[in-house]
Structure 1
Amino acid sequence: MSESVLLLALLLLAHILGDFYFQPSSWVENRYEKHLKSIRLYQHVLIHTVFVFTILLCAGYSLDVVCYGSAFVLVTHLFIDVVKSYLPRTSTYFFLDQVIHIMMLVIVWACITSDYDKVIAHLFQKVDYKFVVVLIAYSVVLKPASIIISMLLEQWSEIAKGNSNSGEEEGSRITTVEGEDIKSLVSAGKVIGMVERVLILTFVLLNQFSGVGFLLAAKSVFRFGDLKEKNDHKMTEYVMLGTLLSVTITLFIGLITLYIVKGSLGIK
């Protein structure tokens, strides 16, 4: 079974090398510009095919299996990248592209590995309630927590926004999400809040509460210093309230998760 896991790991490593280290930015630009007519596209797909061919051959599989597996990767990778070249260059399509590529490699691995079912069963045996609880915790501190904070701040958002807009030129954009006000960077405050909560939850689960203090101190230096220059007291209070709500919710979820997983709050 360890050989099967090693094979899958090598296939995934080959994908990472082929997509991120053996594909210059100029090749990507060429593919988006010329699509199927891009020579760089075929060079890129050929590199992936050679990687897979070499790995399967060195793993001791028959030439038929090696050729079929390599051909499958060649065709699917070419098709996926051609379709992607016609789509907008957004993070959503990027992650979707990577997930589909990895799925294709898993299909190749599952088809040529006799004990793949044992590997999958072994992985499921390793997944216990603690893993699920931690997964739920991270899921809650992202979108659900963002919605809760926005709802709690709703009664003050218009006041803070109106106060911040005074003196601003018409056409400038200010978005207030989770106590963050930003010009031009639409939804940046929301993303910052999510990243902040993920980091805080991670620090709590690792019992590194000092990291939470460092994170808040670093945010205060940049965020509240900017607000002080504006002399905007209402917005300062609004941002502080949003930050405190975000931290409180995440600490609460983190401590509950820590208690369920370890049977204690981890506070010494």
Structure 2
Amino acid sequence: MTILLLVLAHLIADFYLQTETMVSDKKKYLLRHLVHHTITIFLALTVLYFVQGTEFLTQVLLPTLVIVTLHGVVDGIKIKLQEKSVTTQRQNSYNLSLFVGDQLLHIISILVVCYLFIKVDLGDIFHYILLSLKLIEGVQPDHGLVNSLLFLCIMFILCTSVTGHLIKIMLGTLTRHLSLFEGKYTLRDLAVSATSEKNMSEEYTYMVMKHQDLSRGKVIGYLERLLVVALILMGSFSAVGFIVAAKSLTRFKQMDDRDWAEYFLLGTLTSFLLAIVYGVVLKVVLLG
């Protein structure tokens, strides 16, 4: 319960309380971001204190201070590394590695604090995880209602916001050519030459992307992953293919553009792959 609650508090502060403006200029808004983390971590540890705590100073105040301080250090290092100049070809993979490494370090810092201050046995936790995932033989642990709900909340955030952010970093920003929405510009009744009797009719395709289109795309991504997870939990693996087909049909005309098609397929396949992984993990852990 302790680790799950702290991880949930971290995810809420990192992916719900942190706005796009804060992400775009993290150096400027780092202090505000740390305040968000202080609030969520403090509230989580306070809940734990009332449930199973004995010393407020060592089990709430000090862990909060250490976790937030470590978070600030990790984010500061990440900001410095992001300022490092990299080639355009490697920019996406570089930012993706920073994102994954950043999140792993935050989780590790939470584990270390739990071990040092709250006396959580990490060996038992690791064994519990292996049993839950059925990676080792043994009696399946009873998760309990609270742990199951916390785990569901964490998986929900991973399936929606975290995965959406990861895919966004992996694909990078849309180029001017791809960040366009389908439209048409037609030139008609143009003479081929001054003496020509036939007219020429040409049709050009151009695209204009609106902010609303990006927002809708993000929501669609959330819904498609949640739907895939639900289908996996129900055992309807074959139905996942229909979602892929339905999504592809909505972009059928744009598939003529090879760049767009590759961009679309990479994002879609990554989204579905991670959703399937989440669904399988939930099915194994909660449903056996």
TM-score by length of 1: 0.46
- Higher helix residue share: 1
TM-score by length of 2: 0.43
